[in-house]
Structures are given as C-alpha cells and as structure tokens.
Amino acid sequence: MFENLTDKLNTAFKKLKGHGKLTEKNIETGLKEVRLALLEADVHYKVVKDLIASIRERAIGQEVLNSLTPGQQVVKIVNDELTQLMGSKHEGLRLGGAPPAVVMLVGLQGSGKTTTAGKLAKFLVSQHRRPFLVPADPYRPAAIEQLQKIGNQLGTEVFPATEDMDPVDICRDALLAARQRGFDTLLVDTAGRLHVDETLMAELGRIKETLHPSDILLVADAMTGQDAVNMAKAFHDALGIGGVILTKMEGDARGGAAISIKAITSQPIKFIGVGEKLDALEAFHPDRMASRILGMGDMLSLIEKAQMSIDEKKAQELEKKLRRSEFTLEDFRDQMSQIRKMGPMEDLLAMIPGMGKLKQLKQLKVDDRELVRISAIIDSMTRGERRNHSIINASRRKRIARGSGTSVQEVNQLLKSYIQVQKVIKRLNKGGLRGLGSGMLPF
C-alpha cells in the first residue's frame, strides 16, 4: 500500500534531514520533490497545490527554522497536513433514526459492491447489530446468488429477491420484511454500470426516495486513482453520498484516491478493503493512514488486528504455559493460525514503525503458504509427538512428511524452528516474561 509514494517522500525527507540548518531555499527544494511525488501518485492537482501551500506556510515559519531538528519538524508538518486533508478523524457509519437503519452501497460495476456488502455485514455483526442483506441488482448475472452465498458464509440472512423483480420493489419489500422480523440494519447492494449514466442515477434516486437511507456509501476501486475521485464527485453531486469505501487498497502503490477524495467531495473515506476475504475491511483513520504513507508504521491498527484475531482465553492459557516452559507443538500451531488470521505477514511487518523503511523488508516476500505447511506437518503428528517432540525419530519424521505432503527436510526445519522458540522462552523466563500478556509469540 502506497509503496511508490512512501519511497519518494522518504527520499525527499532524507535530503532535508541531511541539512543541519534549514533555509527557505532548502525547504523550497524539498517541497518541489514532495509536490512531484504527490502528482506522480495521482493525487488531484488542486489538492497538491493547496497541500504544498499549507506545508510551505508552516515550514518557512519559526516552527521549523528555529527548531533543533528542522528536518524532523518538516516531516511532522507534512504528517499533520496529510491527516487534516484526509479528514482528521475516523467517521463511522450513520445508523441513527428508527430501525432498521438503511445503508445503500452504490458504485460502478466491478468496484466490489457485493463483496463489500458482505464485509460490512460481518463488521456490523461484530458491533452486535443484526444486518439484513438486500440484493437490489437483478441485472448482473448471478449477482443475487453471489450475495446469497456470502450471506450463507456469514450466517446472515439475505432477502429472497428474484431476477424478474424491479430494484425499487425489492427494496420496498425488503424494508417491510426487516421491520416485521426485527432486523436493525438494511444493507442494500445496488446495481452498477460500466460508466455513470442517467439511467443508473435515476434508479438509485428512486431507491433513495423509497428507503430514506441513513447513509449512502460509494464503493470505489482505489487502483483507478483519479478516476475514483471523479466518480466520487459525480455520485455525490447526483445522490449526496455520506462517505466512501475504497476497495483493493492492498494493491494501490500510489495512494492518489485516498489522499484526494475528502478534499474534492467533502465526504470522508469510512472504510478500506484490503483483500478478498470477508474480514479484510478496515476502518479508515486519517492519522494512521498519514503515518503509513510516510513510512512510520501503524501500531494502533496492528494492535486492533491482534485483539480481533486472538482468543483472550487462549492467550491467558498460553501465558501460563510460557511461564512454566510448557510450550508444545500444538501451541506453536495455534499461534501460527492466529497470525494467519491477522493478514499477510508483509503487511503486518510494515505496520511496525521503522520496518517499512528497511530494504530487507522490501526484499522479503513471506509466503503465507508456509504457515499452511507448518500446520499440515504438526497435524500429521500423533498427540504424543505434538506434546513431546523429543520422541520424533528418523522413521517418525518420514511418516509425518508423507502424511503432510512435505519432505523430511521441511519437517526437520520446523522442529529446528520450534526448538529455537523454546530456547527463547526459557531465556525470557529467566529474565521475566513481562509483556507477554497479549499471548503472542516472542519472535
């Protein structure tokens, strides 16, 4: 995410930090590089112009020129201005009024509305709400079936629409059903087109008049950059959207849409999609996003991911085992499973401050299938072997390799890694296990 922009901004900041004393000339040279980096990242030219003007006004004042660390002070200013530009603070869903609260998802065809509807449903369930999914797109082949399949995966009910129904009738009947059956949130997956047209907007307008939604969210593909911003403006002018969900952010190396949308439409980005899985949805926090863009990590989001993925009861049990040095291969497997739930390893490492700037990290391509292989190897062991690795001799290793579809060398490597972790735990026990209350492995 934002890899290209982050690299170019860090290059500009490195030059500024190289000067013991900053002058207006140094700052202007640095700002030219920042401006170029933002334009190349497909940030809207008006947004770039205003942002650079705001940074310049603060940077050439006493705040920087008299600072003991002027280069770092410029970085702080850029961070502050980026945060303000993207909205300053997180804005959640508007779910007020008499239930059910209605949330309309709108956008072009292929932007990911149907999958996003499922992700939002999963998010709402985690917030102790009872969502009702509405497939209001009878035109796209299998669109209704796709949402029903997602609903089945989540255990969330889906209104039984058919392809011969009118979208407005679907929404009207779904609203009545939601009221009768006690659902508190209606998530409406509307139809999209390959381009913005009058027919699409007129239909969405009729649905809006029928449902009186508490929130209208535009689902836009972040990788389309400037096109996503222009589309957001078009939908806002026609419908009055309440916010944006940017999808496919994990593949967006530029970041232009995320930086520009709030400034151009005055509407906030509320969520970002960071993968295809139904739990790959993150609340959008401008301050955290600015920190990611500048390569400074995002520890708060990392902690939140850990809290969502880690079973608190298991974490407490693991802490007791660690204190008694009773960490088994079963515990090792469970920890691998919990790490997998948090997302791709490269993304997790990039959230740690300073890690995103390391060349070694950029060259590191962690194969998440390795975690699957580790689980397969441990699952192929007997209970006694998982509890006591020392009994795993050569013949047992061959049997485990055959059972897991791996090689003896891979089994040996796993056991070697496990023994190394055990040694770390023993050292920590001698020095005290403070800080392991989260239940995560000490590596």
Residue that terminates a domain, selected from 266, 296, 326: 296
- Which residues form the domain of 413? 303-431
Strands (DSSP E) contained in 222-283 are: 243-247, 269-273, 281-283
- Of 297, 300, 261, give the one whose Cα is nearest residue 283: 300
User: Are 361 and 424 in the same domain?
Assistant: yes
Half-sphere exposure of 131 (CA within 13 A, CB side): 26
pLDDT digits (tens, 9 = 90+) for 203-214: 999 999 999 999
**Which is more confident, 341 or 49?**
49
Residue type, 152: N
Asked if residue 353 has pLDDT above 70, the reply is no
Asked if residue 376 has pLDDT above 80, the reply is yes
Residue 171: pLDDT band with limits 50, 70, 90: very high
Residue that terminates a domain, selected from 273, 296, 319: 296
User: Are 290 and 316 in the same domain?
Assistant: no
User: Are 249 and 122 in the same domain?
Assistant: yes
Asked if residue 377 has pLDDT above 80, the reply is yes
Asked if residue 3 has pLDDT above 80, the reply is no
Q: Which residues, listed in sequence order, are joined to residue 186 by a DSSP beta bridge?
A: 102, 132
Domain membership flag for residue 92: no
User: Are 81 and 218 in the same domain?
Assistant: no
User: Are 291 and 310 in the same domain?
Assistant: no
Domain membership flag for residue 437: no
Asked if residue 420 has pLDDT above 90, the reply is no
User: Are 204 and 337 in the same domain?
Assistant: no
State percent of the chain over pLDDT 70.
78
Residue 364: pLDDT band with limits 50, 70, 90: very low
User: Are 125 and 221 in the same domain?
Assistant: yes
Domain membership flag for residue 94: no
pLDDT of residue 9: 83
Span 332-354, mean pLDDT?
A: 63
Domain membership flag for residue 91: no
- CATH code of the domain containing 334: 1.10.260.30
User: Are 286 and 143 in the same domain?
Assistant: yes
Domain membership flag for residue 441: no
Which alpha helices (DSSP H) does 267-393 contain, by range?
286-293, 299-309, 312-323, 329-341, 345-350, 359-363, 369-379, 383-387
Residue 147: pLDDT band with limits 50, 70, 90: very high
Which alpha helices (DSSP H) does 394-443 contain, by range?
394-404, 408-431
Asked if residue 437 has pLDDT above 50, the reply is no
Residue 317: pLDDT band with limits 50, 70, 90: low
- CATH code of the domain containing 31: 1.20.120.140
Span 251-278, mean pLDDT?
A: 85
Residue that terminates a domain, selected from 85, 112, 139: 85
Indicate whether this model's pTM tops 0.85: no
- Report d(CA 8, CA 287) in Å as an integer: 20
**Which is more confident, 89 or 441?**
89
Look at 164-168, 266-270, 277-281, 353-357 and tell me which has the smallest mean pLDDT: 353-357
User: Are 231 and 351 in the same domain?
Assistant: no
Span 111-130, mean pLDDT?
A: 93
Span 149-177, mean pLDDT?
A: 93
User: Are 124 and 244 in the same domain?
Assistant: yes
User: Are 230 and 193 in the same domain?
Assistant: yes
**What's the domain count of the chain?**
3
Asked if residue 249 has pLDDT above 50, the reply is yes
User: Are 276 and 136 in the same domain?
Assistant: yes
- CATH code of the domain containing 263: 3.40.50.300
Domain membership flag for residue 95: no
Span 110-115, mean pLDDT?
A: 90
